[in-house]
Structure 1
């Protein structure tokens, strides 16, 4: 049973064939030694499968059998960047895997000892790992544990993907029947944290996390405990890289949470080749997201019990209300930049004898844009119908805008130009497009525009969670994905509350969705939307 200074850990079956030379490491599901194959006269790496404690006997047997079956499958993968497996020995109920010995350091050790690597160097390593994964995937085998510790940088310059001890055939689960996750939490794909189907895209996500760690010096998810890391992985976007440089596009594509949206091996290779040459490739944008427009609801205004004699009553017949609501509901709440907007002429009877109130007297009433080719909306006329007093703000269409909507003023129904409040704050810039948030002072919409320092681009983050521009509060106009963003009264509602968090996400607190530049477009006039937080650059903001 004894084998030198390793005592009785190696049985006679192993000791008769292999002489242990040096311990190479222990972690995860295996313990590895450098050994000498006495029969063939070559140095090898000898790995014993180490199982988590407390597993039922049936599950232990299943893991042992799986390790043997899958190690033999990997032995059929012949590729210069895949560690070669020579044999599997089933001894004393535990499998021992005999592998090629690679002399050098792991990627983890290199980053730990020397710090983060240059992006071009990381891109070259990524190309070799990707080639190894493609060879394994062609054989129908998923690695499931791609991480810096399993990437070997040999002394002769070769990059080798090793430790296929957790490898699985396509479609296998990433979790044991008792709920123990197999793999390193910081490098698991989100779908694995949720125990969903594992595919080749899962290995590609782990590749992205590995390259992220190499270029940043830390993984994209690294919490204080494995459970906290898994929770963040399932619910939060990865932290934006700061040193990625030309690697940024490929990292963004590989670390997309949804497997169906993640880039494939072909595009990853193209982007890595560009990065290895010192050029940032162009990431294929996600498919266009449908625009969701909030519909206008008609609310009946109840009559007070004791109408005031000092007020002129205002009545709008139910047919007129329904007609006006139908006209408004059939149009976008916020017009796209460049659409023609027509001012509504004042209507007789409006402005005198009509009481207009707002929850925020200091905020102007929001305006309603009129698309090109449509007739302007007219405000309803007042009638002397006693018994009903309406306390409402009257929405009117804005004036026509100039090429830069920041220079536009709004004309009210009474015909007077409305002066915006003094600007306070600083620009909010998107990290991917480089464009800034801007209020279209004609329609109140929040759009993207070339950063120019105008008042309409000065946003103030308040302690109450509001985000203000020129005295108005930024608020969502739709609850679903693709909902537009505009401005309105500062009423303290969650629709007008935002959190610019440490991950550089601008999150609306009512729907818990991120401010999103559609398709990452850098064009002027693109309407801001809210979308499920994905961690992509078009959802990252500087303020």
Structure 2
């Protein structure tokens, strides 16, 4: 790639797309340094007036963030217009995101999460002092750089204090699993919303999943509005700060000073998990649960997204209807993602990574698997391959991966222990069933699984410590579409989200 932008930046490598941005690694030819270059990409279908407003606001906020000089905030070097779109030039951070660390290594000790939380909080306070709210704090937007810095990045959804959480057409900007309740209700946005998201991020760091983790955007937002967070089980000394930050009522939520005090105490192991430090009891908002249930109609609008899935490059990605898309977990711009064993190294990843939440509509199932297909494959021409291995069961649906012997597709089926459900992960990195290698049949989100040649990375898999079954060619997770527990549903690959429909027991 040799295209030169603004007669100064030479594009080197496409890093990804999503989060209202398309990101490249680029070379600043004037100063002779590598940078991350992000072009604003807006949701389809917005009125022209709102598009102009979002573009102008992106430039305005980028300039505001560029004035923030803090080690825990990504540095922005330049903003300019090219081809009718705003472009943001930022530092290229080498490392991996908090999301990637938890995904690859599992939940972290509360004390380490507290140390990271202090750095995130410091970055947020620096932004808030400048009158800028982040609005999309989540593990994928926290970089753990190789030089030891914790860097808050992707201010692509940033806004000035007091702005609404929605666009004028009712689109909620942000990731629902980390969204403050007032954001979903289109209430006034203050620094307290970022603090809620900080709490949800730290919760995910120690629990391995966010406090609200449903199978669809609608279900997640409905739970956010009507249910308390799922009680953490591994928070330990971090429990009091999580209790204080994850309060639905802004008036009940602790502020930055209290959060810092509790985080410092947790870092030093000074807080008992049962110690609430006198935190106020939560109040019932505007009439209690019945009122919360009454705003469910608002959540229909909230399920509309502001961007494309961002956990990988956009090549081959499906375009979901606007009512089914949502901003998702992506590695932040400029971060170099971890390279699984056996995979080719990559130079950098985007500054805004998002998590895929399955669409609310049901994905059409593959052709029904007949009873004959469900049984062990037989042949009169050669001996039946020996069944080796054990079932691979999805943790959310309880269904198992199975070879459809008629089509060679990998589908989901009620767990029976049949030979077609016995999978093996030998030392060569392949995934095998009845002597055949499982491989991906497409590289984009929604790509299906089948059997075929054992050669190449399309047939290379890793079942990691976080229970993700990852294809090493595209670094995407095996997924049950929409958490559908019916027999015959085709297994897919999708951007890794950490949700239950991507977790597997073997």
Q: Report the TM range for the smaller structure's normalisation.
A: 0.5 to 0.7
1:311-361 CA-partner distances (Å, limit 9, x unpaired): xxxxxxxxxxxxxxxxxxxxxxxxxxxxxxxxxxxxxxxxxxxxxxxxxxx
Partner of residue 132, structure 1 = 123
- Is 2:268 the partner of 1:277? yes
Matches within 5 A, 1:464-503: none
Q: 1:268 aligns with which of 247, 254, 259?
A: 259
1:424-463 CA-partner distances (Å, limit 9, x unpaired): xxxxxxxxxxxxxxxxxxxxxxxxxxxxxxxxxxxxxxxx
1:127-184 CA-partner distances (Å, limit 9, x unpaired): 0000000011111111111011110000111100011111111101110111110011
Q: Distance in 2 between matches of 1:246 and 1:284?
A: 12
Q: Distance in 2 between matches of 1:100 and 1:287?
A: 41
1:497-542 CA-partner distances (Å, limit 9, x unpaired): xxxxxxxxxxxxxxxxxxxxxxxxxxxxxxxxxxxxxxxxxxxxxx
How far residue 288 of structure 1 moved from its aligned partner, in angstroms, is 7.2
Q: 1:202 aligns with which of 185, 190, 193?
A: 193
Q: Distance in 1 between matches of 2:187 and 2:163?
A: 10
Partner of residue 88, structure 1 = 79
How far residue 252 of structure 1 moved from its aligned partner, in angstroms, is 0.6
How far residue 91 of structure 1 moved from its aligned partner, in angstroms, is 1.3
Q: For structure 1, which segment, 277-286 or 194-203, has the greater mean C-alpha deviation from structure 2 after superposition? A: 277-286
How far residue 287 of structure 1 moved from its aligned partner, in angstroms, is 4.7
Q: Distance in 1 between matches of 2:228 and 2:205?
A: 19
SS of the residue 1:46 aligns to: strand
Partner of residue 114, structure 1 = 105
Q: Distance in 2 between matches of 1:243 and 1:86?
A: 40
Partner of residue 27, structure 2 = 36
- Checking the alignment, whether the CA contact within 8 Å between 2:252 and 2:281 is kept in structure 1 is no
Max Rg structure = 1
Q: Distance in 1 between matches of 2:30 and 2:113?
A: 39
Matches within 5 A, 1:101-180: 101-180=92-171
- Checking the alignment, whether the CA contact within 8 Å between 2:247 and 2:282 is kept in structure 1 is no
Partner of residue 338, structure 1 = none
RMSD: 1.7
SS of the residue 2:13 aligns to: strand
Compared CA separation, residues 289 and 181, structure 1 to 2 (3 A): closer
- Checking the alignment, whether the CA contact within 8 Å between 2:241 and 2:262 is kept in structure 1 is yes
Q: 2:245 aligns with which of 239, 254, 260?
A: 254
**Higher RCO by CA contacts (8 Å cutoff, separation 6 or greater):** 2
How far residue 226 of structure 1 moved from its aligned partner, in angstroms, is 1.2
1:30-50 CA-partner distances (Å, limit 9, x unpaired): 222221101011111111112
SS of the residue 2:151 aligns to: strand
How far residue 108 of structure 1 moved from its aligned partner, in angstroms, is 0.9
1:384-437 CA-partner distances (Å, limit 9, x unpaired): xxxxxxxxxxxxxxxxxxxxxxxxxxxxxxxxxxxxxxxxxxxxxxxxxxxxxx
- Checking the alignment, whether the CA contact within 8 Å between 2:21 and 2:38 is kept in structure 1 is yes
- Checking the alignment, whether the CA contact within 8 Å between 2:106 and 2:208 is kept in structure 1 is yes
SS of the residue 1:260 aligns to: coil
Matches within 5 A, 1:322-401: none
Q: Distance in 2 between matches of 1:215 and 1:248?
A: 10
1:207-236 CA-partner distances (Å, limit 9, x unpaired): 000111111100011111112211111111
Structure 1 gaps, min length 5? 5-9, 291-543
- Checking the alignment, whether the CA contact within 8 Å between 2:165 and 2:189 is kept in structure 1 is yes
Q: 2:182 aligns with which of 188, 191, 194?
A: 191
Q: Distance in 1 between matches of 2:57 and 2:49?
A: 12
1:285-330 CA-partner distances (Å, limit 9, x unpaired): 355799xxxxxxxxxxxxxxxxxxxxxxxxxxxxxxxxxxxxxxxx
Q: Where in structure 1 do 4 or more consecutive aligned residues deviate above 6 Å?
A: none
SS of the residue 1:218 aligns to: coil
Structure 2 gaps, min length 5? 284-506
- Checking the alignment, whether the CA contact within 8 Å between 1:271 and 1:283 is kept in structure 2 is no
- Is 2:11 the partner of 1:20? yes
Q: Distance in 2 between matches of 1:226 and 1:278?
A: 36
- Is 2:54 the partner of 1:53? no
1:177-209 CA-partner distances (Å, limit 9, x unpaired): 111100111111000011101100000000000
Number of residue equivalences: 281
SS of the residue 2:251 aligns to: helix
SS of the residue 2:135 aligns to: coil
Partner of residue 100, structure 1 = 91
Partner of residue 206, structure 2 = 215
Q: 1:67 aligns with which of 58, 66, 71?
A: 58
Partner of residue 229, structure 1 = 220
- Checking the alignment, whether the CA contact within 8 Å between 2:23 and 2:36 is kept in structure 1 is yes
Partner of residue 374, structure 2 = none
- Checking the alignment, whether the CA contact within 8 Å between 2:99 and 2:139 is kept in structure 1 is yes
